[in-house]
A and B are shown apart, each in its own frame.
Chain A
Amino acid sequence: MKIDKDRLKSNLEGENQPEGSKKGISRRGFLRGAGLTTVGTVALQTGVLGNSLQEASLGEQSLGPDAVLIKLKVNGRLRSLAVEPRTTLAAALRDHLQLTGTKIVCDRGACSACTVWLDGKPVNSCLTLAVEVVGQEITTIEGIGTEENLHPVQQAFIDHDASQCGFCTPGMIMTATHFLQNHPNPNLDEVKVALRGNLCRCGTQPNVFKATLAAAKKM
């Protein structure tokens, strides 16, 4: 049980934990520190580009190709970030907002590991650009439960051992949770159809289906 919780813990990193609140040195914390010089560079560019953003918001000219300042509504909070137009939503969440629960696997929309909700609907964040979702509600795995208060679907995934390597798990949970919100009392076939887009190379699908059916009873 402890190992499983640790696994989910890494999915919950990000805005739920203030920077520097973690004790000791984690692998990701170390990497984040090592990347500080890059952050400095981006901040500089952002200052320069503040003007072009204001003009762009009038809608008469194009943005980029260099980084522009945008605001994204992620998990109910407005977040500012500087991205190039080519930055995908998945990259913006992971690399700019440190919401690393969303995983990038195939990067081509074929595996759905990067599933997030856009205005409440599951989409592939790897095929979505950050600049095109300004003004829309984005929900990530960090937004549906916390470490202390797991979502019933997250708890069901732990209870039914529904992850092995864990890379597909956040996408699976986002898809399953959306499905259960709209289909409170599903049967196995409906669950299978709903999760058609989410690939798992470890082969946890049977347990994913069990977890989803079990979670339905607790939502």
Chain B
Amino acid sequence: MNKFSWYEAKSVEDALDKVNATASDILGKRPNESSVIFKAGGIDLMDLMKEGLVNPGTIVNIKKIPDLDKIEFDEKNGLRIGANVNLATLEGNSLIKDKYLALHLAVGHAGTPQLRNSATLGGNLAQRTRCWYFRSLEHQCFRKGSGTCFAQKGENEFHAIMKNETCASVHSSSVSTALMAFNASVEIATSDGKKRKVRMEEFFVHPEVDSRSENILNSNELITAVVIPAPKAGTKSYYIKQGARESHDWAMADVAVVMEMSGSNCSKAEVVLGAAAPIPIRSKEANGVLTGKSINETVAIAAGEASMKGATPLSGNAYKVPIFKTIVKRAILKSV
């Protein structure tokens, strides 16, 4: 790691007053003493810095800002999780396990127990892709602002099987898969003292829209919370992550299913696929199969099939298609 200075932010305003760049802004650029970026848990940032991809002049620590580590719930406003809540705390929260099972499962399968004790929810959303070309200093890839996606003709076994024409990276936050299925929004503070709330699908940015950034955050913005509506009565959910090994690994495929049920009938379905595309995506096709149906194995299999409609796997990752079909089916059957 290159040398940097260190500043402990006292408040959100203080932090926003100090920073002048996002990690993505300075990624792949020469060390610049005047660049100032945020750090929370630092899990992803430390990795990027150790690889020499991000070389800030100053790091502003936002992890000790008061009041960003609260979890609040009421039936009217739903669940509000402060950006600095760590994943272990989320995993251990009984209300989340009770009302948002898919989120509980997604958090519990993210990283290792050690990482979950440090990793914050805000940092999990803002982390960069683990595509090995993106993480390599030697590859000027599409996600770093050049025109070439090396995964298209290179090693692509863990890459995207949908919406992958320009860049085949997958977003690494499996927690986001569950959050999107629960229709979560990201609360963002801006340096002019205002706050804005964006839905998960607006928060993440497909490489065709912005090749260098995976989310809409600007350098004068900070995630302060994630807000999830209160689940309607009869809501059922489940989450499955398939990795290469059981201990811990990035997802090869993951899926979150949230269904509003009346009896065995599904009145509304949200199936979200992670590690399928450069950003987490809703499967409108699977949702369409489930909505208005009585949930049984035949319907679940049909939804799994539908979820992979239009998949465009690359040379090394067609194996993901049957995995997605299977875990979509299983998650649907497990949730009811």
A residues apposed to B, CB below 8 Å:
59, 61-66, 84-86, 88, 107-110, 112, 115, 118, 121-124, 127-129, 131-132, 175, 194, 196-199
Tell me the bound Cα distance from A5 to B117 in angstroms.
Answer: 31
Residues of B within 8 A of A129 (CB): 6, 42, 46
Q: A64-B3, A127-B46, A196-B247 are in contact. List 19 more A-B contacts (CB 8 A).
A: A62-B5, A65-B4, A65-B5, A84-B3, A86-B4, A109-B115, A121-B117, A124-B114, A124-B115, A127-B42, A128-B42, A196-B246, A196-B248, A197-B111, A197-B112, A197-B114, A197-B115, A197-B248, A198-B112
Residues of A within 8 A of B5 (CB): 62-65, 85
Tell me the bound Cα distance from A210 to B58 in angstroms.
Answer: 46
Minimal beta-carbon separation of B29 from chain A (angstroms): 18
For B112, give its contact among A59, A107, A118, A196 (CB under 8 Å): A196
| Given A84-B3, A197-B113: A132 touches B63 (CB 8 Å cut-off) | yes
Which 4 A-B pairs give the minimum distances between C-beta atoms?
A197-B112, A85-B6, A65-B3, A62-B7
Minimal beta-carbon separation of A218 from chain B (angstroms): 23
Give the number of chain B interface residues (Cβ < 8 Å): 30
Q: Does B1 contact A (CB under 8 A)?
A: yes
Q: Does the CB pair B118–A175 fall under 8 Å?
A: no
Q: Does the CB pair A64–B6 fall under 8 Å?
A: yes
Minimal beta-carbon separation of A194 from chain B (angstroms): 7
B residues apposed to A, CB below 8 Å:
1-8, 10, 42-43, 46-47, 50, 57-59, 61, 63, 88, 111-115, 117-118, 246-248
Chain B: interface secondary structure?
mixed
Tell me the bound Cα distance from A128 to B42 in angstroms.
Answer: 8
Tell me the bound Cα distance from A132 to B46 in angstroms.
Answer: 13
For A109, give its contact among B2, B47, B246 (CB under 8 Å): B47
| Given A112-B112, A196-B248: A124 touches B118 (CB 8 Å cut-off) | yes
| Given A65-B3, A196-B247: A115 touches B59 (CB 8 Å cut-off) | no
Residues of A within 8 A of B113 (CB): 122, 175, 194, 196-197
Residues of A within 8 A of B63 (CB): 132
| Given A86-B1, A108-B50: A131 touches B114 (CB 8 Å cut-off) | no
For B118, give its contact among A65, A108, A110, A127 (CB under 8 Å): A127
Q: Does the CB pair B112–A127 fall under 8 Å?
A: no
Residues of B within 8 A of A115 (CB): 114
For B117, give its contact among A107, A118, A194 (CB under 8 Å): A118
Residue of A nearest to B6 (CB): A85
Q: Does the CB pair A85–B118 fall under 8 Å?
A: no
Minimal beta-carbon separation of A111 from chain B (angstroms): 9
Minimal beta-carbon separation of A86 from chain B (angstroms): 5
Tell me the bound Cα distance from A88 to B6 in angstroms.
Answer: 13
Minimal beta-carbon separation of A155 from chain B (angstroms): 23
Q: Does the CB pair A109–B112 fall under 8 Å?
A: yes
